[in-house]
Amino acid sequence: MAEGFLYVIGFIISLTLALVLTPFVIKLAFKIGAIDKPNHRKVHTRIMPRLGGLGIYAAFVGAYFAIKPFIPDGLLRNYDTNLINALLTGGSIIILIGVLDDRFELSAKVKLVGQIIAASVVVLGFDVKIDLLNIPFGETMQPVAAWLSIPLTILWIVGVTNAINLIDGLDGLAAGVSAIAIGTILVMATIMGFVPVILLSALLLGGVIGFLCYNFHPAKIFMGDTGSLFLGFSLATLSMIGFKQVTVVSFLVPLLIIGVPLSDTFFAIVRRWVNKKPIFAPDKGHLHHCLRELGFSHRRTVLIIYAIAAFFGVCAILQSTIVQSSAANWITFVIILVLIFVLQIGAELIGIVDKSRRPLLNFIQRVLVRTEQSRSK
């Protein structure tokens, strides 16, 4: 009971700090020139401050140090403290990169190097890495070879960090999707009783929700790369450290938690490859762009994507609860097939890859036509 009260107080402190600090961040962004100007790729029509992630970070860190003296002795083991310090240290490096980018617009290569450094600090400095994987149809958790563990972990952290950055295209979108993913992690960590992840998720969720009060449409501030990179980095680390040592959790769970940004990133890569464009070339073919083209309003588009993110979150929670059954492997396999089918149908309906190519829908249509013709005979 006392632990639960501590988490709630931490959440409230973080939420309050975000509400109080974000207006000061808005003034700071204008003062130092960390602003976002409208162009042909963006939906906003006026100059906007884009340093909002600094408010989330300050609320998160401030809340942690506010409740740290009240954490009961023995609640956190040395291993748990190491995980917390890994996120705080790596996250601070990411925030520095984000602030510099929001002010000076760093090149993609410079940002990538910075992300790799932050991920390397987590892996090499705090020994937080993926060392166990639960592979479908395997009897136990499979150890990951040492030579593969480090690059695999760095790739996961950098990949998820950039996935969140890519969906940051509408007011409140990246922050809301991240909040849903953090909430999913919080629920699962609570079920499993994993204290450090419960604590960090509660604090981070409070900061994001507080920031959303200023970021939801019509936004008063953008989170900028400061926010999207920090939230992506935090989600990558939490989803990894939260469940990598729990043998009953499938490899699919972390993928489901951040299903929206990962699937949007995957389709972006496929879209650019199909259209013979550079993989890192920006475009207006992301999920939120496609929904806007279908006629949905700004707010409705964001809410639709929230619903999709919530669906992935529920799937992650369900998947984590069924893996203990004897049919767990087959259930995982079925979930994967259903999700792939649904994602492909959705992608073809909204034209996220190519508006003229609909192979699965065309195949289904041909099958239905042939079935109808057979019945008519």
- State the 10-residue block means of pLDDT for the chain, 377 residues long: 84 98 96 82 73 96 94 79 90 96 92 95 86 54 70 90 85 93 90 87 97 93 94 89 46 76 83 77 76 86 92 83 59 75 83 78 82 74
pLDDT, residue 183, reads: 94
Q: How many CB atoms lie within 10 A of CB 24?
A: 12
Structural domain that includes position 338? 2-376
Give the integer Cα–Cα distance in Å for 349 and 248: 36
Among candidate residues 265, 259, 240, the one with its CA nearest the CA of residue 177: 259
Alpha helices (H) in the chain, listed in sequence order:
2-32, 53-67, 78-104, 108-120, 126, 146-166, 173-192, 195-215, 224-241, 252-257, 259-274, 287-293, 298-322, 328-350, 359-376
Overall number of domains in the chain: 1
Report residue 177: phi and psi, to 5°: -65, -40
Give the integer Cα–Cα distance in Å for 304 and 182: 18
Tokens of 124: 């090499």
- 84-107 core/surface letters (b: 16 or more CB in 10 A; e: else): bebbeebbebbbebbbbbbbeebe
**Helix or strand holding residue 49 (H, E):** strand 48-49
pLDDT, residue 341, reads: 84
Tokens of 104: 């000076």
Torsion sign, CA atoms 113, 116, 122, 124: negative
Report residue 50: phi and psi, to 5°: -135, 40
Find out whether 309 and 177 touch, Cβ atoms under 8 Å: yes
Among candidate residues 257, 96, 231, 240, the one with its CA nearest the CA of residue 165: 231
3-state secondary structure of 181: helix
pLDDT, residue 121, reads: 94
Tokens of 36: 């976002």
pLDDT, residue 248, reads: 37
Find out whether 226 and 95 touch, Cβ atoms under 8 Å: yes
User: 340 exposed, middle or buried (CB, 10 Å; 0-12, 13-18, 19+)?
Assistant: exposed
Phi-psi region of 60 (alpha: psi -120 to 50; beta: other; left: phi over 0): alpha
